[in-house]
Amino acid sequence: MLFTHPWFLLGLLAIVIPVAIHLFELRRPQRIMFSNVEFIREVKLVTARQRRIKNLLVLLSRVGLIVALALLFAQPYIPAPEKIQTNNTAVRVLLDDSPSMQQTTESEQSVLEYAIEQSVELPLAFPPTTRYWVWPGKQEALNAASYRVQVEQTQISGQGQSLATTLLQATQQSGRVAGPLFVFSDFQKNGLTGSALTGLDTAQQIFLVPLAGKPGPNVFVDSVWLDDAFVRTGSDLTVRVRLRNGGQLAAENTQIKLFIGKQQAASFQLSIPAQKAVTTSARVRLLSVGAQACRVEVADHPVDFDNAYYFTLQPAQQIRITEVGNEAQLGALYTNEPLFSYQFTPAQAADYRKLATANLLVLREAAAVGAGLRENLRRAVQQGATLVIVPAGSTNSRESYGQLFKELGLGTVQWQPNSSTGPVLQDIALPSAQNPFFRDVFAGVNPRAGMPKAAPVLRWARSGTEVLRLRDGEGYLAGFPSGKGQVYVFTAPFSAPYSDFAQHPLFVPVLYRLAMQSYQQEQQPAYRLNQGVVNLRLPKAAGSENEPAYRLVQDSLTYIPVQQLVNGVLRLEVPPGMRRPGFYTLQINGKTLATLAFNLDKRESDLRSYSASELRQLIGPNRPNIQVYETGQNQTVAARYKAQRVGVPLWQYCLWAALGFLLLEGLLLRWNRRAAPVASPAMAA
């Protein structure tokens, strides 16, 4: 046993005072009258014996009181088995607030509530002058009272990063704080790896507190997708839903419901083994033109934080196609499909406004490409448009086309010399069924089918994505990335005598596919709350840089995110206060521009967690600065830390002993106290 303030032991010298009082018996003798002196000697002997015992007990109680008070001020304690190597005036606490902390424990309370109960008791293990830092939260020093308030106000947040990232940030940003770090978490396996722990600073003391939930099933929506990339109003759509069981037990006969808008479109009942996935589908139809707020609901308990998955179905906008050339030749092709919006502009007097609003630009056999036209084509491609270049057969146009290729970043092309006998036609090879460009285009490829012919007038040196090839292996149609857009180049004109491609059945699916690949979706069906940034492509008339701020609204909640609008693309940072999944409307000046669906990160639904023994194996024997504290057995984290690292204080026992001796002295002084006897008449006679 050691003492915090050993100089207070000098107070033990005060024991001399009650001893001196006892020895000198500083009490005035009492006179007692008796009528009969026969029993005087017997009474005197009995009274003296009782008085000596009583006085001895009073002396002992007074000596005990002084000893207890001296020890109380000296503050004795039993030394801890482990020496403290850190500064205990600063304590860091990382409290996991991820959605997975909503799972329940064996006591039917959430893991987060249990973590709060454990963390609020930490100040009991440290001196009153200790300061606390809490992650996540405001990075400021807190006293014990403020620390407890902040911890008790912790709520689940869907924007949290992985535990490994948060742990690394907590250790790096707190270099000025030398105290221990306590981590309260469920330690999901998909959010923490051994490399994340071994990469931490070895000079910092870290205590991992695993808090496990009750084993059970947890069915959640892994993903939702459509077979058709283009959503059309009034047409049947196949919605596919992949459901996964992230729990430790199998889920039997789980009820699944699909809602399109406010109407229930389908209902399923599935059994999913633990850590397995099942895919189901449903046929739906959109009846309205606007975006539909859809959701998938899972009847899964008691883990219900991920029982709803939100997404939107937006009917595809028309693909704007602009042909630039000598005359309109593709109008009959694209006007047959309602999905396309076709317009033509002459190359010599191009309408640059049409170029700026088009998704697909087709530069077809223009006699010359002027400087203004080249600049506007380059600008449109840089902003995300798709440009299809069909070269002209005239040698006079080669210089302007070559300049266009350089400005687009395609490099220098090689022009083929003109033959004195005319263009030499070559067969185009059969398209490859494995080419992603032709996915879902052909039901099958007949190797005996006749293919079109072409006489190439140019070849390119830069490698690109080959779409079609000639029989000799040279490219006929290839795609090249340029800025945010894509450039497709044909090696030969469409017109005779250079090619009969325009008359071949392959012409329509290739031109349609080029148009469909140019479509840029304005928004995604769903977003994650923790993805940080959302990029939306707004219509040209939806807003400008000088308009008021865009807002995200959900019921009575309104958020103004950090935003930037550049070239029709709105960049929004997800506000920190957005913690709840669901639908949020994007508004400006009270006008709704879009409906966005936000969900929790699906990794939170995988409830596989590290146990205390698995964490110790993950840490390894070479990291003594990282320890694992198990809860339970009626011992809190604060009590265990205090017993192992601070020691067991004994001052409270000294206080109780002092109060006990004081009570004992009072009882002894009142015991056997008698009133002075009164002489009776008989005795007086």
pLDDT tens-digit readout, 565-602: 887 788 999 998 888 999 999 998 888 888 999 999 99
CB-CB neighbours of 354 under 10 Å: 18
540, two tokens: 């040209």
List, for residues 287-316, the tens digit of each pLDDT value.
877 788 999 999 988 888 999 999 999 888
Q: CA-CA distances (angstroms) from residue 526 to 294, 304, 599, 628?
A: 10, 20, 7, 38
List, for residues 220-277, the tens digit of each pLDDT value.
999 999 888 788 887 888 999 999 999 999 999 999 999 998 899 999 999 999 999 9
Q: CA 673, CA 617: separation in Å to the nearest integer?
A: 70
Which candidate, 670, 631, 652, places its Cα nearest to that of 107?
631
List, for residues 348-367, the tens digit of each pLDDT value.
888 999 998 899 999 999 98
Which candidate, 554, 621, 545, places its Cα nearest to that of 586?
554
Rounding to the nearest 10 degrees, give the CA dihedral for residues 156, 157, 163, 166. -120
Q: What is the 8-class DSSP label of residue 418? A: P
Across the range 428-454, mean pLDDT stands at 75
| pLDDT for the residue numbered 678 | 44
Q: CA-CA distances (angstroms) from residue 460 to 254, 402, 404, 453, 466?
A: 57, 11, 13, 19, 12
Which candidate, 455, 453, 475, 473, places its Cα nearest to that of 465?
475
List, for residues 377-388, the tens digit of each pLDDT value.
999 999 889 999
Give kind and range of the element (H or E) at residue 454: strand 453-454
Q: CA 326, CA 322: separation in Å to the nearest integer?
A: 13
| pLDDT for the residue numbered 684 | 40
- Terminal Cα-to-Cα distance of the chain (whole angstroms): 68
| pLDDT for the residue numbered 574 | 93
User: Identical fold at 319-517 and 527-599?
Assistant: no
- Class at the top of the CATH hierarchy for domain 90-213+609-646: alpha beta
List, for residues 644-677, the tens digit of each pLDDT value.
665 566 777 888 888 888 888 888 877 765 544 4
| pLDDT for the residue numbered 285 | 87
The DSSP-derived string for 19-57 is HHHHHHT--PPPP---S-GGGHHHHHHHHHHHHHHHHHH
CB-CB neighbours of 129 under 10 Å: 9
Helices (H) and strands (E) counted in the chain, each on its own, are 15, 34
Give kind and range of the element (H or E) at residue 2: strand 2-3
Domain positions in the chain: 2-79+650-684, 90-213+609-646, 319-517, 527-599
| pLDDT for the residue numbered 264 | 92
Name the CATH topology of 527-599: Immunoglobulin-like (2.60.40)
> Over 60: is that where the pLDDT of 513 sits?
yes
> Over 50: is that where the pLDDT of 219 sits?
yes
| CATH label, 319-517, candidates 3.40.50.880, 3.60.70.12, 3.40.630.30, 3.40.50.300 | 3.40.50.880
List, for residues 523-545, the tens digit of each pLDDT value.
889 999 999 899 988 765 555 55
Phi, psi of 518, deg, nearest 5: -80, -10
